[in-house]
Structure 1
Amino acid sequence: MKVTLIAHTPDPERIIATAAKLCYSPSDIMSLKEGLTDEKVESFVSMLISIGHESVLEHVSFTFGIEGISRACSHQLVRHRIASYSQKSQRYVNEDGFDFITPPEIAAVPEAKAEFDRQMEALTESYNRIADILTENHKKTFMEQGFDEKEAASRARKKANEDARFVLPNACETKIVVTMNVRSLLNFFRHRCCCRAQWEIKDVADEMLKLCCEAAPNVFRKAGPSCYSEGKCPEGKMTCGKIR
């Protein structure tokens, strides 16, 4: 798994401080921005975070490239709706010989690992057989429509991928670009940095948080699971019992 911070709003903490300051000042925006020293920015942002004034955090966004995760993980990730996503398509990308993610608990048990690998190999073979069969059928149709053999074959394979992908497993590796504003990120970290989060998305969230802390340390100083960021666990009877 690899998480990269591709880009973020320049000077994020100053942008947040300027937006918040505007709410309480009659001054023009540029004057407000110029009057914010590094010390004032740090102090103001820390105060905003402590009182939960989060609307101004939406002016700053972070874009991440996430590679080497499973479709099971990405399905959880895209449930966070206030975000933008671009994911590797199984419709347009040929998944012949697809990479897959092996859960650590399966990898730790030889018998389970052997069965898991056997299933991945079988699914790869099924994907290829189905794609080949459908490609031949679609190729004939495209040639009947007047396309030459090369173009017909290219179009046929792409169309075959649409249906062959239905046999691909949740373990199938994927890549995704994610953009979230800071307010959404804080919510994401509260849920996904929690010990009760599924192991893979927790790993992703932990890496994203590390990168955010490097880029905007004052904004993300108290970011993390609810027990850390808010001092309480919202899980009730489902709590892990390890409140930080």
Structure 2
Amino acid sequence: MELIAYTPEPEKIVAAAARICYSQRGAAEILENMEDKEVDRLIKLLLSCGHESPVEHVTFTFAIEGVSRALSHQLVRHRIASYSQRSQRYVSEENFPYIVPPSINGEPEALEIFENCLSQIREAYARLTKLVPREDARYILPQACETKLICTFNARSLFNFFRLRCCSRAQWEIRALALKMREVVRQVAPRLFAKAGPNCEVLGICYEGPFSCGRAPVVKSRGEIEEE
């Protein structure tokens, strides 16, 4: 995963967007006179009061490779984002690379079953592409297929993504991706993403009910917090 583009001076842009709501000055004048301490103050204020619409003005674009179709199916559920993914209709998947889950890779018998199955799928796919269009042959391809994509999120959508996918209950592959994405955006906008993450980290509470990992008190129905 690589952060390939982002809004220049993202924290300053967010601060200016917040300031313009309560100022008679124009955006250009606000940006010109915006000092770093004011940026810091406004970002802290926005995040503390939950006023997140100004953070939608900055975007971050990621190039993602070496992940499975199982991951990309989860990723595109985050609908407030833009995606471009390698096509299985136009790009041949003959001898496709694939992702092996750690649980399978660490169990010899499971790994043998897994690799034998994928070998049969590769052979069947190669035979099918000689008989039918590639767009139809792809129907037998597994979720283990490696894929590549580019995606763009605004910062508010990233807050939601990190809240759900950095959680210890998230599926292992997308959680690993989310943690790496959070690491790189914190390098370019540390104040903006300082508290981005699962509810247990940000709020000190958990909404996972009986599925909670136990890291934080669980919020029950009607807003009650379960006693430890």
Partner of 1:223: 196
Read off the aligned partner of 1:214 and give its amino acid letter.
Answer: Q
Match of 1:239 among 195, 212, 220: 212
Q: Quick one: distance in 1 between partners of 2:20 and 2:46?
A: 13
Q: 1:230 deviation in Å?
A: 2.2
Tell whether 2:164 aligns with 1:191: yes
Read off the aligned partner of 2:134 and give its amino acid letter.
Answer: N
Give TM-score scaled by structure 2 length.
0.93
Match of 1:68 among 66, 69, 74: 66
Number of matched pairs: 217
1:64-103, aligned counterparts within 5 Å?
Answer: 64-103=62-101
Any stretches of 5+ residues in structure 1 without a counterpart?
A: 135-159
Q: Tell me which moved more, 50-59 or 229-238.
A: 229-238
1:133 is paired with a residue whose SS is coil
Read off the aligned partner of 2:184 and give its amino acid letter.
Answer: L
Q: 1:243 deviation in Å?
A: 3.1
Tell whether 2:148 aligns with 1:175: yes
Q: 1:121 deviation in Å?
A: 0.5
Q: 1:36 deviation in Å?
A: 1.1
Partner of 1:110: 108
Q: 1:101 deviation in Å?
A: 0.4
Partner of 2:124: 126
The RMSD of aligned alpha carbons is 1.1
Q: Quick one: distance in 1 between partners of 2:83 and 2:216?
A: 32
Q: Tell me which moved more, 24-33 or 83-92.
A: 24-33
Q: 1:133 deviation in Å?
A: 2.1
Read off the aligned partner of 1:48 and give its amino acid letter.
Answer: L
Q: 1:201 deviation in Å?
A: 0.3
Q: Compare CA radii of gyration and give the structure with the larger one.
A: 1
RCO greater where, 1 or 2, for CA within 8 Å and sep 6 or more?
1
Partner of 1:51: 49
1:132 is paired with a residue whose SS is coil
Q: 1:192 deviation in Å?
A: 0.2
Q: Quick one: distance in 1 between partners of 2:143 and 2:153?
A: 24
Q: Quick one: distance in 2 between partners of 1:230 and 1:19?
A: 25
Q: Quick one: distance in 2 between partners of 1:94 and 1:37?
A: 52
Match of 1:27 among 25, 28, 35: 25
Higher helix proportion:
1
Q: Quick one: distance in 1 between partners of 2:166 and 2:78?
A: 14
Q: Tell me which moved more, 90-99 or 226-235.
A: 226-235
Q: Quick one: distance in 1 between partners of 2:29 and 2:216?
A: 44
